[in-house]
Copies of this chain bind each other. A is one copy, B any other.
Amino acid sequence: MSVTNLHLGIFGRTNTGKSSLINMLTDQDISIVSEKKGTTTDPVKKTVEIFGIGPATIIDTAGVDDLGEIGHLKIQKSLEVIRRVDCAILLIAGNQFGDYEVRLIDQFKEHDVPYIIVHNKNDISKIAAITKNAIKWHTNAEIIDISTLNSTDRDLLINSLKKIIPETVYKNLTLIGDLVKPKDLILIIIAIDSEAPEGRLIYPQNLTIRDAIDNHCITVVLREDEIEDFLKSGLTPALVITDSQIFKSVTEKLPENIPLTSFSILFARLKGNLIAYLRGTPCISNLKNGDNVLILESCTHQTSCDDIGRVKIPKKLKEFTGKRLNFKIISGLSPLPENIDDFALVIQCGGCMVTRKQLSNRINPFIKRGIPVTNYGMALAYVNGVFERVVSIFRKFYEYDRNNPKLPFIEG
């Protein structure tokens, strides 16, 4: 079950041929190609099929060297794109390689984005040795010399691109495949409250049910009110997955011996950094009066009044800690605050609508600074006193990390 597709960024000066490169990759004429300098001004996202690779979202950034007033804005936007892509192509032409390309390469390195350098328009001028040497001075990324007018160059481009695609992008990641066996009975408990959209299951619930049946499990889906009715059937589930918001009432109705977790915690493992969350969550108990807590919401869904990130979790955290806490919420993929050291705790949503790479780019800066991170499901489990219960199913995969006692970690 591949949950997201490849996010590929195309970077480079105006008129180096970024849009024609996309047409070459996709074997279609989908972007605006005109001789007028700077045709594309905003990063344009396209979901395509890359020939010989598979489904991908290509982000065609603006000609970022346009240093006019909006040029500064364009550079800013391209750098934001670097934080969202799995890998990148840096396009140059006419042997032009300078400070601006070096700045992009530095950003690729800073955000662990694998990249290749493509010298285009070699029908007009081939790449010179002096250019190659200048590039090699800054990076050992692969350099290829092509012309997007020459279709036989496509294989060279695709093969180079294949070498930098992170393995996890197309690997069939599973939500529960390694936690269950074929024919197991899985119980999925769905909360229907004012936040639930009308008439359909939300994305994490949909994915989990499909992953369960893909693994040949028998999946029972019901609401909280029907838990007892189902348990009367005498059937015992191998695993129960619930919405994190109803941990309390579910754990009251469910026998202690039945393994339990939540959609959000499954997504923590699929998309987030489970070890960091396992370590970070118990730090909720270390919060002090006046501490700042950062809530990171990955999508900008319409927030209704009792929204998890803006209302429920802040309320529960204050009640649990008894402390005066300040909350800051950043939604969508808007830039992180400059002063990340001001935060005592970071709570990330499940990230179901973003890629693994995008989510790790959000939380890594905090993890690198030793700031505890957790996610919605784990935080709700902790403040409801069922944290150990809902993560114990993963324990068999992780050991207690003795060489990093600074951050408390549950016993291995």
This chain's copy number in the assembly: 2
Contacts of A271-315 to chain B: CB distance below 8 A: none
Decide if A210 touches B199 in the complex (CB within 8 Å): yes
B199 touches A229 (CB 8 A): no
Task: Tell me which residues across on chain B come within 8 A of A226, comparing CB atoms.
Answer: 183, 213, 216-218
The verdict on A2 contacting chain B, using a C-beta distance below 8 Å, is: yes
In the bound complex, residues from chain B placing their C-beta under 8 Å from that of A210 are 199-201
Given A218-B226, A226-B218; A2-B206 close (CB under 8 Å): no
8 Å CB contact of A221 from B1, B183, B219, B233? B219
Choose one: B183, B201, B230; the contact of A201 (CB below 8 Å): B201
A235 CB contacts on chain B under 8 angstroms: 233, 235
| In the complex, residue of chain B having the shortest beta-carbon distance to the beta carbon of A213 | B223
> A199, A218, A219, A233: which has the most chain B beta carbons within 10 Å?
A199
Query: B218 contacts A213, CB within 8 Å?
Result: no
Tell me whether B218 and A192 are in contact (CB under 8 A): no
Known: A200-B210, A210-B199. A216 touches B225 (CB 8 A): yes
Residue A209 CB within 8 A of the other chain: yes
**A75 CB-CB contact with B under 8 Å:** no
Complex formed: what's the CA distance from A216 to B203 in Å? 21
Chain B, Cβ-Cβ closest to A4: B199
Q: Which of A191-212 contact B (CB under 8 A)?
A: 192, 198-201, 203, 206-207, 209-212
Q: Pick from B198, B201, B207: contact of A209, CB below 8 A.
A: B201
A2: chain B residues within 8 A (beta carbon):
198-199
B218 x A1 contact (CB < 8 A): no
Given A198-B1, A206-B201, decide whether A222 and B218 contact each other with a Cβ distance below 8 A.
yes
Asked whether any CB of chain B lies closer than 8 Å to the CB of A190, the reply is yes
The answer to whether the Cβ of A3 comes within 8 Å of any Cβ in the partner chain is yes
Taking a contact as CB atoms under 8 Å apart, the answer to whether A218 and B230 are in contact is yes
In whole angstroms, how far apart are the Cα atoms of A2 and B200 in the complex?
A: 10
**In contact, B223 and A216 (Cβ under 8 angstroms):** yes
Smallest CB–CB gap between A56 and chain B, Å?
14
Closest chain B residue to A235, Cβ basis = B233
Partner of A3, one of B199, B211, B221, B229: B199
Contacting residues, chain B, for A219 (C-beta < 8 A): 220-222
Q: Please tell me if the beta carbons of B199 and A207 are within 8 angstroms of each other in the complex.
A: yes
Interface residue? A341 (CB, 8 A) = no
Q: A201-B209, A209-B209, A218-B222 are in contact. List 10 more A-B contacts (CB 8 A).
A: A1-B199, A199-B210, A200-B203, A200-B210, A201-B206, A213-B222, A216-B223, A218-B230, A219-B220, A233-B233
CB<8 Å pairs between A and B, sample of 14: A2-B198, A190-B213, A192-B213, A199-B210, A200-B207, A201-B206, A209-B221, A213-B221, A213-B222, A213-B226, A217-B222, A218-B226, A218-B230, A233-B233
* The 6 residue pairs across chains A and B that have the minimum distance between CB atoms: A1-B199, A219-B221, A218-B222, A201-B206, A201-B210, A200-B206
